[in-house]
Chain A
């Protein structure tokens, strides 16, 4: 059985934010809510790394463990979803999540915290597949259309991989074997002045 997973290849991510844009556009996510975002570590320092982060659909999800109304459920494919009709917007899941995935829209006169919203792996929610109600509450159900999450499919460098975890692992493993690691990576010497392996005799790579 397919077990859906995300992985972001930090060697490839160029912080273009196309994953963020694709997600916002696909699901018409409101202002202030970011189901996916790009985080950059050591910004401006040589060797900086960017990574695209959203709900990782944990196998042992802490959000599920702390929810007082038990609004979360896990599908057969390992996608962690929640029922917005059950959610009370308490925010416990936000504190429990190590990835900052749960988001809370604050709209209305007093900016009242609404019901939790998060990445659905483009799998909709507990409404009829493809219905207007599903779209308004959870966004498009691309998985039921035979498609993969929009963020991964729109990734310009294919840094963000999504789909069956076994296939994701195979793709990533092959990629790492092909390109090497650290100073073995093509272009490393030119970019960072390394004298280690991977730098051709000409001095440039």
Chain B
């Protein structure tokens, strides 16, 4: 009985704890919304701040 939750507890005891996320793009341009990868128009740079922030309408709302 309750074998699945026992397995889960045992698994969690050995799980790696991932550190909190580092701050990303402060500009929060439109390309940094939460859409799927094939949908978003990527900045072209892996690090934010390099983006051109063409669509900054979302900036104020996100932070």
Question: Do these two chains really belong together in a complex?
Answer: no
Query: Which residues of B does A touch, CB under 8 Å?
Result: none
